[in-house]
Amino acid sequence: MQLADWTSIAIIILAVEAFISALVFGVFFLFLNVGVVKTQGAVKRYGPILRGRLRRLAASSEQISQKITGPIITVEVTNAKTRQWFHALRSSQRK
């Protein structure tokens, strides 16, 4: 075989390798695209349901937080008012 034959064979092998590589990447991106489309469909279908549940969860956690912290805040406000009242009494007695 002469050099021209080997050159032709090498070019054919390189072309086949490039075609196979392009085919592999093409199939990969095809499956990736199909996955993205299915994910978008699932988000469109279940997104509003999930959003509603998360809003209810936020509202209920806010209510629970208010029930827990409400008495604590009331006690602190009462304590601060009492301290101010005693401080005012002490100040008026010193004068």
Q: Give 52-70 pLDDT, tens digit per residue.
A: 999 999 999 999 999 999 9
Q: How far apart are CA 36 and CA 29, in angstroms?
A: 10
Question: Would residue 91 count as lying in a domain?
Answer: no
pLDDT for residue 95: 61
Question: Would residue 61 count as lying in a domain?
Answer: yes
Domain, as residue range, for 57: 1-68
Question: Would residue 44 count as lying in a domain?
Answer: yes
Question: Would residue 18 count as lying in a domain?
Answer: yes
Whether the pTM exceeds 0.85: the reply is: no
Q: Which whole-number Å values give the CA distances from 91 to 77, 82, 88, 94, in the listed order?
A: 21, 14, 5, 5
DSSP state of 95: -
Tell me which amino acid residue 83 is. R
Question: Would residue 40 count as lying in a domain?
Answer: yes
Tell me which amino acid residue 87 is. H
pLDDT for residue 2: 85
Tell me which residue has tokens 């009492």: 82
Q: How many CA atoms lie within 13 A of 14 on its CB side?
A: 6
Structure tokens at 94: 């010193």
